[in-house]
Chain A
C-alpha cells in the first residue's frame, strides 16, 4: 500500500516532467552555467587548482538542487494540486517518499551531464573510479534531497519561500557537502585511500538514514494545518 502510493506519486511527477521537461532543462542549464562561471574564475592557462573539481561539482549540485526543489512544489501550488495531493488516500510519508524519489531521479540525471563536464573543464580524472563516484554521488544527493524535499514542502505555504529555502537548506546540509567534497577529492588522488573513502561513504549513509527517518516521521505533523 505504502509502496504503491510512493510509486503513484513518482509516476505522476515524472509524467508531468517528461511532458514539459521544464525542471530538467532549467536545472541543467543553471548547473552548467555555474560550472562555466567557476571555470572562468579558476582555470588559468589551462590549469585548474588541484582541489577545485570536487568543490565545483558539489556547489553546482547544491545550487541546481535548490532550484529544482523550489520548482517541484511551486508547480503543485500553481496548479492548486497540493491540497488534492495531501487529500489523496495514501499515507502522508508516501507522498514525501514519492516526491523525494522524483527529485533524486532528476538530480542524478543532471549529475550524469555535470560529472563529465567538470572532468573535462577542470582536467580532473573524476571517472577513474566510477563505482565509488556513483556511491558518493548517490548517497550525497539522497541526503541533500531528503532534507530539501521536506523543507520545500513545508515552505510551500510561506510567502517568502524562494528566499527561505536556501537559508534553511545550506546550514543543515553542510555535512553532506563536506563528506561529498572530501570523498570525491579522494578519488582524484593517485593512490586510492579505500579506508578513508569508506569512512566518508559510511558518514553519508548514516546521514541519509537519520534524515530520511526524521523527515518521514515529521512530514505528517509539519504538513498538517
Chain B
C-alpha cells in the first residue's frame, strides 16, 4: 500500500463526516427548498459514475489491443465503481425528481443514458463473474461497445422532451452554494481514487496468488 493511502483515507472519512455540516450551512434554494440539498451528493456521484465509466472503457480498449493484464484489472475495478456510483446517482436522482418534477422517473435523455450505461456496467460484472475462462476479453469488448453506445442513446432520447437541468447551471451557482458543492465533489473524487487503488491492489494480489498456484502445480 502506498504511503499516501492511509492519510488520504482518513482525510476522506473526515470530509464525509463534515459534509452534512457543510451542506446544512448552504442556503435554501428558492423554489425547491430543503429537497434541493440532495444535489450536493447527487451531482458528484453522477460525475464520478461517468469518470469511472470512461476509465473502464479506455482501460478495456487498451487491454483488448495491447493485452496488458494491468489494464484489465483497472477496467474491472472501474466497472465496479461505475456500478457503485451509478447506484448512488440513480437512487438520489428519483428522490429529488419526486419533489422537483412530481414523478419518480422520466424517460429523459440523461436518465435513460445513465440507466443504460449503468446496465452495461452491471452486464460487465455479470460476464466477469459467470463468464468462465476467457471472459476478460468478452468483458473488454462489451465495455468498448458500451462506450460507443452512449452517444446513440443520448441522441435517440434527446428527440423526446428533456427536463433534466444541464451542466451549464453549475458555474452560475452563488459561492454559498458552489462552495459546498465543490467540497462534496472533492470528497467523492478522493473516494473514487482510494477505492480504485484498493480494488486494483486486490486484483494484483489475486493475479499473484493465481501465479503461485500455477507454479505449485508444476
Contact = CB atoms under 8 A, between A and B. Distances in A.
Q: A and B: partners?
A: yes
Interface in B109-144: 116, 119-120, 123, 126-127, 130-135, 137-138, 141-142, 144
A160 B131 contact: yes
Interface residues of B, number: 29
A5 to B, nearest CB: 22
B146 A211 contact: no
B interface majority secondary structure? helix
A175 B159 CA distance: 12
B134 A157 contact: yes
A69 to B, nearest CB: 15
A164 B119 contact: no
B127 A175 contact: no
B15 to A, nearest CB: 34
Q: Which of A175, A182, A221 has the most CB of B within 10 A?
A: A175
Nearest to A170: B119
B149 A158 contact: no
A222 B64 contact: yes
Contact of A221 (B127, B137, B148, B153): B137
A189 to B, nearest CB: 15
A157 B137 CA distance: 11
Interface string A147-180: 1001100110111100110011001101100110
B139 to A, nearest CB: 9
A106 B142 CA distance: 25
Interface of B: 64-65, 116, 119-120, 123, 126-127, 130-135, 137-138, 141-142, 144-146, 148-149, 152-153, 155-157, 159
Given A174-B149, A175-B156, 10 more contacts: A154-B141, A158-B131, A164-B127, A164-B130, A167-B123, A168-B123, A171-B146, A203-B155, A222-B64, A222-B137
